[in-house]
Amino acid sequence: MSYPTVDFLFLSEEDMIKAGVEDMPACIDAMEEVVKCLNSGDYVMGGENHNSHGCQVSFPEESKFKNMPLDTGDDRRFMAMPAYMGGSVDLMGMKWYGSNSDNRKIGLPRSILTVMLNDKTTGAPLALMSANILSAMRTGAIPGVGARYLVKKDARVCGICGPGVMGKTSLEAILSVCPNIEEIKVKGRGEKSLNAFIEYACEKYKTIPKIRAVETVEELVRDSDVISFANSGNTDPSTYPFVKKEWIKPGAVLIGVSCFDMDSKELAECTLVVDNMKLYEAWEEEFPYPSFGANNIIGSKFTDMAHDGIIDKSDIIDLGDIIYGKKPGRVSDDQIFVYSVGGMPVEDVAWGKHCYDRALELGLGTKLRLWEKPHLA
């Protein structure tokens, strides 16, 4: 960049697709580097603890101001998620999004996302990019990293709870690292979404002979080698998919991309893994005990269990410790893992940097000028 002139690149969704935002194997590799940087501490996120997921604006149920958006149960909120990502990324960035379930009525996705990348020293913008696909891919790729290190090599059956975008990308990531999968089971709430998922999966994964819908959580879990819970959820744990340990196949891996629940004592008999332990400690501060429910990610139940003395906090394993060999991963064929995925803006910055570099190589995007010379310098 030639200062004081500041130019940055705008990348539309079409530009991002051309830049390879849908390249799942590359995204999994990028997310593995993220997990390593998280484990070594080469990152900074928001908040005084440097590990905040982000800052969310939610709306009241009632307001005296006529133009104030209201909380009507339609997931209406805004969120800013800033982060510095170290390693080969070495950039500052932020994901920004607004969410409203009613968007679907007018042909829009529930959430509309953008990512801004910035120079770490000057703060100058480098790129503003469409981020719906980016976010979906990195959300799926983090389960893929876990599956790479935790799932048995001879895994044959994959279960997906939630036939939406997270279900599709987590399935793609699992299949990328588990090449012997020969059956996919999916559970959802609506026939239309289930049928659409099965049609999508049959078209995309033509070599997999058996793709089918199931009606119950038990049927989804039984005989599955890896299960991704990628369903939508709220703050009421009684509504979450509930898993009994007797249903779980010895050696299976349960991945909590979104919400599910188990009995605490049965959960304590599994090997508990998280994508970044410091994130869950930050959630302990932001969602005072009991954290689980206020935060619907299963890893918050892990920390609640430690609070209750059911497990020791050291029983919760950071995935980075397994990757670096600091702690053992799988030590037996019957070992059951529950892997919690929190989702963090460092992931968006890392995958955004990859796509930005590819866009520069391919000459994609629209160059925009912030200023020729800053008026207030």
270 and 206 belong to one structural domain:
yes
201 and 331 belong to one structural domain:
yes
- Residue 302 located in a structural domain: yes
Domain with 307 in it: 143-343
| Euclidean distance between CA atoms 176 and 181, whole angstroms | 10
Q: What is the pLDDT of residue 358?
A: 98
Q: What is the pLDDT of residue 194?
A: 96
CATH number reported for the structural domain that contains residue 224 in this entry: 3.40.50.720
- Residue 377 located in a structural domain: no
pLDDT in tens, the chain (377 residues): 789 999 999 999 999 999 999 999 999 999 999 999 999 999 999 999 999 989 999 999 999 999 999 988 778 889 999 999 999 999 999 999 999 989 989 999 999 999 999 999 999 999 999 999 999 999 999 999 999 999 999 999 999 999 999 999 999 999 999 999 999 999 999 899 999 999 999 999 999 999 999 999 999 999 999 999 999 888 889 999 999 999 999 999 999 999 999 999 999 999 999 999 999 999 999 999 999 999 999 999 999 999 999 999 999 999 999 999 999 999 999 999 999 999 899 999 999 999 999 999 999 999 999 999 999 98
Helix, strand or coil, per DSSP, at residue 333 = coil
42 and 169 belong to one structural domain:
no
Q: Give the list of residues 6+ apart from residue 79 with CB closer than 8 angstroms, or none.
A: 54, 55, 56, 57, 96, 97, 99
168 and 296 belong to one structural domain:
yes
327 and 272 belong to one structural domain:
yes
Q: What is the pLDDT of residue 233?
A: 81
334 and 266 belong to one structural domain:
yes
- Residue 203 located in a structural domain: yes
CATH number reported for the structural domain that contains residue 14 in this entry: 3.30.1780.10
Q: Write the DSSP assignment of 261-323 as a string of letters.
A: EE-HHHHTTSEEEES-HHHHHHHHHHS-SS-BTTB-SHHHHHHHHHHTTSS-GGGEEEHHHHH
In this structure, what is the dihedral angle of CA atoms 192, 195, 200, 205, given to the nearest 10 degrees?
160
Map tokens 């800053």 to a residue.
374
12 and 127 belong to one structural domain:
yes
Which pLDDT tens digit goes with each residue over 251-270? 999 999 999 999 999 999 99
Q: What is the pLDDT of residue 364?
A: 98
355 and 216 belong to one structural domain:
no
Q: Quote the pTM value.
A: 0.95
Q: Write the DSSP assignment of 118-149 as a string of letters.
A: E-TTT--EEEEEE-HHHHHHHHHHHHHHHHHH
- Residue 117 located in a structural domain: yes
52 and 161 belong to one structural domain:
no
- Residue 376 located in a structural domain: no
The number of domains in the chain is: 2
164 and 262 belong to one structural domain:
yes
- Residue 1 located in a structural domain: no
156 and 305 belong to one structural domain:
yes
- Residue 58 located in a structural domain: yes
Which pLDDT tens digit goes with each residue over 25-60? 999 999 999 999 999 999 999 999 999 989 999 999
Q: What is the pLDDT of residue 234?
A: 81
161 and 274 belong to one structural domain:
yes
- Residue 355 located in a structural domain: yes
